[in-house]
Amino acid sequence: MAASGGGETHVAVLLIELGAILFGLGVLGRFARRFNIPVIPLYLLAGLCFGQGGVLSLSASHDFVQVAADIGVILLLVMLGLEYSADELRSSLRAQAPIGVLDGLLNALPGAALALIAGWGATAAVALAGITWVSSSGVIAKTLGDTGRLGNRETPAILGVLVIEDLAMALYLPLLTALLAGGGAGKIVLTVSIAVAAVTVVLVVATRFGRHVTTLVSARDNESLLLGVLGLTLLVAGLAEELKVSAAVGAFLVGIAVSGTVAETAVEVLSPLRDVFAAVFFVFFGLSTSPGQLLPVLPLALALAVVTSGTKMTTGFVAAKRAGVKRRGRWRAAVTLIPHGEFSVVVAALAVAAGAQAKLGPTTACYVLITILIGALVHKWPDRLRSEQSTPR
């Protein structure tokens, strides 16, 4: 009976904490809309207040919130994929392939250089290169949805950069994992080959056999459609993660594969779930960060954030320019790519757990928070620019 009572107490505390988190997020959302400010930084700051070393630690709900945060990223990416077709994905990838190379050079090199200058070693340099390379698909998807920019001219260029980054990470993660484990050249080649094969299969299924995927999840009632799309998305994302491929890639490509009226209905039924779990994702990031560890690495993280904000803006501007987008849209693409997030945290966690430079953890947390805040502060700036006059072609 004692054990049962203890279990009931734990469940009660769990429900209280979850209720407090969700209610608090609702209050923050209303506050943000009332004063017309971005809500994502408020979610992050709330997490910092109630995480490790914060005002009050929420321990009972930690594991549940962590899983909910992972689902939040997956839902953000599948919803992003539902907005676009396989043909749009193919054309975007072809158009933005050169930008992918530019993106890697501009944004990975600052991280690698800083790690080497700081004397952290070659393995930490490879890890920090990945941390500064990839923008946050989750944060950017949330921003595009909240600002109503999913249909903008510059959005396909932004998505092209994000997809190329996620596909590149499918090769980078196995390489980094092998380096951290101390594997030889043979092991590295094997893990990267498996990742390439997995990405290729998912891409082919999404772009060539999308109609079959649509038929598979299609249903007459919204409940069955919701369960079908959500279940397939989580299944593919989980398999992708197991094969050391980004779960974000798997979720995004499921969204790409579903088309027509099925995709339109899926957007409607999944939107409330996305909003709940995406909010939890941003809170969890703050919960997993100790404010006391951020101050010593703040100057380093701030310098890195300023440099890579500039390089990310260059990437976005050039990508939108290549797509024929006018001046205001180019700057919107530029500032949209600034935030870093979930992938940077994953890389840092892998590196620190494997015994790499311990400062990577707090440096990455501080760096990610700064880039998200910078992105939130400047995301409306391009709208104040005068639009270019239309010129005849």
pLDDT digits (tens, 9 = 90+) for 43-80: 877 887 776 655 566 665 677 888 888 898 888 878 87
Structure tokens at 107: 């944004």
Over range 160-165, report the average pLDDT: 85
Q: Following CA atoms 190, 192, 195, 197 in sequence, which dihedral angle do they give, to the nearest 10 degrees? A: -70
Which CATH number is 77-279+295-382 given? 1.20.1530.20
What's the whole-model pTM score?
A: 0.73
Q: Residue 3: what pLDDT?
A: 47
Residues 6+ apart with CB under 8 A from 331: 317, 381, 382, 385
What is the C-alpha separation between 21 and 223, in angstroms, rounded?
27
Q: Residue 217: what pLDDT?
A: 86
pLDDT digits (tens, 9 = 90+) for 28-45: 889 888 877 777 778 877
Over range 129-147, report the average pLDDT: 86
User: Which pLDDT band, with edges at 50, 70 and 90, does 108 fall under?
Assistant: very high
User: Which pLDDT band, with edges at 50, 70 and 90, does 235 fall under?
Assistant: very high
Structure tokens at 186: 């043979």
What's the whole-number average pLDDT of the chain? 82
Burial of 326 (0-12, 13-18, 19+ CB in 10 A): middle
Structure tokens at 355: 């015994």
